[in-house]
């Protein structure tokens, strides 16, 4: 049998972790993958960027609709997954819209995050937050 192990956590709580805590968690995850691979249990997997990067794709009457955010329909349940390679979100949307159940439910498209030993957080490769400029002339 093949099993899909889905990982859930409270993003708000995880965001508060320090870089040190994140580095240590990421190292644990890398070790976990190595262990599973050695024992022949690991097929594929990846951490994801947070739900703020999610886009939902639906197809109704042959029309593709794209909305911001993760799927939020409690009537729908997880039915499967595809790991896709695409050059950008537009290309990923085109691929996702070809997934047949997109006609019945929704497909949430979320970028994968690279699992590295240091400098990586739930928000991806940490860049310093930039303040919104005011748009005034110097």
Partner 1 sequence: MPTVSQAWLNDLYQAESRRVLATLIRLLGDFDLAEEALHDAFAAALTQWPDDGIPDNPRAWLVSTGRFKAIDQLRRKARFDVSYEDFAERLEAELVTGEEEEHSIEDDRLRLIFTCCHPGLAPGARLALTLREVCGLSTEEIARAFLTATPTLAQRIVRAKAKIRDAGIPYEVPEADQLPERLESVLQVIYLIFNEGYSASTGDALIRHDLAAEAIRLARLLCGLLPEPEAEGLLALLLLQDSRRAARVTPDGDLVLLEEQDRALWDRQQIGEGSNLVLRALASRRFGPYTLQAAIAAVHAEADSVEATDWPQIVGLYDALLALTPSPVIELNRAVAVAMRDGPGEGLRLIDTLLARGALTDYHLSHAARADLHRRLGRKDEARAAYQRALELVQQGPEQRFLTRRLAELDAD
Q: Give the interface segment with partner 1, choosing from 13-21, 25-33, 71-79, 119-127 (CB under 8 A).
A: 119-127
Q: Interior CA angle at 33 toward 2 and 120, to 5°?
A: 125
51 binds partner 1 (CB under 8 A): no
**34 versus 117: smaller Cβ distance to partner 1:** 117
Q: Is 61 in the site for partner 1 (CB under 8 A)?
A: no
Are 23 and 68 in contact by the 8 Å Cβ rule? The answer is no
Task: Tell me if 136 contacts partner 1 by CB under 8 A.
Answer: yes
| One of 22, 26, 55, 106 touching partner 1 (CB under 8 A) | 55
In this structure, the dihedral spanned by the alpha carbons of residues 51, 70, 79 and 91, taken in order and rounded to 10 degrees, is -90
Residue 35 main-chain phi, psi, to 5 deg: -60, -50
C-alpha separations of 88 from 97, 107, 124, 126 in Å: 14, 16, 16, 20
Minimum Å distance from CB 40 to partner 1?
Answer: 33
Told to check if 135 binds partner 1 by CB under 8 A, we report yes
Using the minimum distance from each CB to partner 1, give the nearer residue, 39 or 132. 132
Closest CA to 22 of 120, 129, 128, 123: 120
Residues that bind partner 1 (CB under 8 A): 49, 52-55, 63-69, 87-90, 92-94, 110-111, 119, 123-125, 127-128, 130, 132-138
């Amino acid at each position: 049998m093949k099993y899909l192990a889905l990982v859930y956590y409270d993003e708000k709580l995880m965001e508060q972790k320090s870089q040190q805590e994140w580095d240590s968690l990421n190292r644990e995850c890398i070790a976990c993958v190595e262990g599973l691979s050695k024992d022949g249990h690991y097929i594929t997997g990846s951490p994801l960027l947070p739900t703020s990067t999610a886009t939902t794709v639906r197809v109704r009457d042959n029309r593709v609709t794209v909305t911001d955010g993760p799927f939020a329909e409690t009537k729908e349940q997880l039915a499967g997954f595809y790991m896709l390679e695409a050059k950008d979100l537009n290309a990923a949307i085109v691929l996702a819209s070809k997934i047949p159940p997109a006609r019945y439910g929704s497909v949430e498209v979320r970028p994968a995050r690279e699992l590295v030993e240091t400098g990586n957080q739930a928000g991806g490769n940490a860049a310093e937050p930039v303040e919104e400029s005011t748009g005034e002339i110097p």
